[in-house]
Structures are given as C-alpha cells and as structure tokens.
Structure 1
C-alpha cells in the first residue's frame, strides 16, 4: 500500500506537482488554521509513504518538527517580551507552527516525489516562453540543485546526530551542540563539491540537457482537478 502510493506520486507529471506547490504554498498563510491542520494531515499522508523509502526518511520529518518548535519558541518569547497577552502568545505560536509544518511538509513531499532534474525541466518548460531558452535552463539548474540539496541536508543532519549520539556518550549537551554543526558544515561542503562534479560529468551545465519532454495523462488531469478543488475548499472553511 505504501509503495503503491509512493509510486503513484512519483509518476505524476512534475509540472503538476510544481504548480500545486507554488499555488498551495502562499495559500497556507492566508487560510484558516483549521484548513491548515487538515492540509497537514493530507500532506503527512503523502510524505509518510515517500519517506518510508528513504534510509533516514522519518528522521528527516523529525528534524523538520524540531526546526518548527524552535521558531515557535522564538516567536512566543518575543511576544512575551513585547507584553502580548498570554492567550494571544499561545494562539499565535500554534498558528505559526501549523503553517510552518504544512509548508515544510509541502516542500519535502515535492522533493521526495520528484527528481531534481524533473523539477528543473518543469521550470525550464514554464520559463522558456517568458525569459528565453538560455536563461530558462540556468534557472532550472539552480532550482534543481536547491531542491536536490534539501533532503541531502536533512539526511546528513540525521546521520551526524546519530553518529554523535553513539561516539560522544561522555560529553554534555553543550559539547554536542558545538560538534554537530561543525561536522554538518564539513559534510555538506564535501557533498557540494561532489554535486558540482556530478553536474559537470553528466553534462547538465548546457542547454541541451534541459530540453523539456513531458506527456500529460488522465491521472494528471484528475489529480489537477482534485487539487485545485481542495485548495478552493480551504478558503471556505
């Protein structure tokens, strides 16, 4: 069941998934928090089967939740310093956390369900009539690298924290908080270099590698209609 759902999501047209993400993302900041909560449940049912196929997929989700809790705490502390009433501090903190969770799940679902090159091709297809072929493929490559790096960062963070928990048993939290960021930056710098070499070796630094070649099928059309309907209903809740 999980593998079937993941296969269906990965088989959808990347232009459709990118368009839904671009429309839904800003809407998450405008709709009611109840609609955002329902959206989180839907997005979690999408991300969960996709993360199940990754070595540290569930740890990536946990890392995102820790990130959200951190910013919730920052906002609540700043509101408390500004002498905002307690009930508004709690409500605003929960609303910010819900919207951030939905937004991060949306981005993670897009990154896990679509390859970076497919998203780049979708961007190139959409931008080519507006900014020309040469600028379109450069923008597509930039976006593809950025999206590809999101799960890499989360996976690297999860692995670094796991190694630190096993090898730094006698150290305190303060020492780990210094070791983990340093190790993370070092690992990511190595992965950045490897990614640069991969782009050059595969010939992705030229316009010929970003020629869009898509085929729209029935399941894409049905999914597009359902997605747009669901986004419209969110504003009615």
Structure 2
C-alpha cells in the first residue's frame, strides 16, 4: 500500500493551506453529492493521517460525534417549528455532509502539516501586504490555533476515558457537567505550557518566521490534483 500519509505530509505547506482555503468555502456552495464525495475522500485521508498519532482514531470519532449531535439539535428544533419531515431530514442530511467535510478538511490539514509550517506559509503570503512585523504575529497566532485543534480533541478523548473508568455509573447529565469542566482545566494548563514553549524556542520574534520553502515535483502533482478535484466539485 502506498504511503499516502507520508506523501501528503511531504507536500509544500503553502499548497495545503491554499487547498484548504479554496475547498473550505466551496463546500457550502457545491451540490450536496459533490460535498459527500469530498467528505468520503477526506474521511479516508484522515484515517491514513491519524495512524500513529496519539488518539488519532478517537479524534475522528469525536469530530463525527460533534457533527451528529448538532445535526440532531437542528432536526429537533426544525421539528418543533412544524417543518415537514421530508424537508427536515433533507436539511439535516445536507448539514451533516457539509460539516463532516469541513471539519475533516481542517483535521487533515492539522494532521498533515505542523503548526509552525502553516505559520511560515501564512507569513510568506502576508508579508508583501502587511509587512514583516505584522505577518509573523499573525503567523504565530494561526500556528497556535492550528496546534490546539488536535490538542483539544485528544484532551476531550482522554477526559472522557478517565470519566468512564473512574465514574462508570455516572449518568448523562452528570458527565456533561464533569467533562467540560475537566477539559477547560486541562486546556488552561496546556495554554500556559504552550506559552513557555513559544518563549523558550524563540518563536516570539520575527527572525523565527523567515520562510525557507523549496517547491518540488510532487508539489506540482499535488497542485494538479487539487485543481482537478475543485473543478469536479463545481462543474460536474
């Protein structure tokens, strides 16, 4: 089996960031069948990228649980307002498909590219317009945000596992009180640790965000695939 995850990780971060910015908004405009095809592809890619990652499979399941929870909430609210069942089911299915595709797109980006590499790509793109000083600050902010997506998912997964082992008889409403509080406390500690890590590695200065990219043949192949996939989503 080809090393799909390794090939995707080796692509230029500028290409992957551009692909996410191109495909992400388009998922809300294309036909639902095109969005469904994109969701299936991204789910498969996410499974490849999650292999070997701490709690990788649980991250994917957590995202799917998040989507189906909010889709169920929307369906209930639509039912309360008296919407016909066929329209309610159609709207819920379309929302589920588009949300799954969008969240998996973000997760694949986070799992295939380091937060620093994405930050360097953003600094490279913004420097001609905003200047060196503003560009690196925005790049650092985006890097921290991207870094925290898998951190939040892994923290949530870990807390749920601990609650299941220590409080096996806890009911649904008790777990819904315990888990958010524990997750927020854990993330607060990780935020402080991340601040220290940024300072210790010297990432709080412009010199650390000087891009040094090299475009390779595989990046041209990846560009062609992204353009073909985008054209298929919009025009087929």
Bin of the TM-score, shorter chain as denominator length: over 0.9
Cα distance in 1, alignment partners of residues 161 and 214 from structure 2: 42
Cα distance in 2, alignment partners of residues 160 and 5 from structure 1: 31
Equivalent in the alignment of 1:228: 227
Count of aligned pairs between the two proteins: 236
Spell out, residue by residue over 1:125-150, the C-alpha distance to the aligned partner (whole angstroms, 9 max, x if none).
00000111100000000000000000
Equivalent in the alignment of 1:101: 100
Query: Structure 1's 170 and 70: CA in aligned 2 closer, same or farther, altered over 3 A?
Result: closer
Cα distance in 2, alignment partners of residues 143 and 80 from structure 1: 39
Spell out, residue by residue over 1:105-136, the C-alpha distance to the aligned partner (whole angstroms, 9 max, x if none).
00000000000000000000000001111000
Specify the SS of the correspondent of 1:235: helix
TM-score (norm 2): 0.97
Cα distance in 2, alignment partners of residues 221 and 93 from structure 1: 38
Cα distance in 2, alignment partners of residues 77 and 225 from structure 1: 42
Unaligned runs of 5+ in 1: none
Equivalent in the alignment of 2:132: 133
TM-score (norm 1): 0.97
Equivalent in the alignment of 1:120: 119
Q: How does 1:1-237 map to 2 (within 5 A)?
A: 1=1, 4-237=3-236
Q: CA deviation at 1:82?
A: 2.3
Query: Any runs of at least 4 consecutive aligned residues in structure 1 with deviations exceeding 3 A, and if so which?
Result: none
Cα distance in 2, alignment partners of residues 156 and 183 from structure 1: 9
Q: CA deviation at 1:17?
A: 0.1
RMSD over aligned CA atoms reads: 1.0
Q: CA deviation at 1:230?
A: 0.9
Unaligned runs of 5+ in 2: none
Q: CA deviation at 1:152?
A: 0.1
Cα distance in 2, alignment partners of residues 31 and 13 from structure 1: 26
Q: CA deviation at 1:171?
A: 2.3
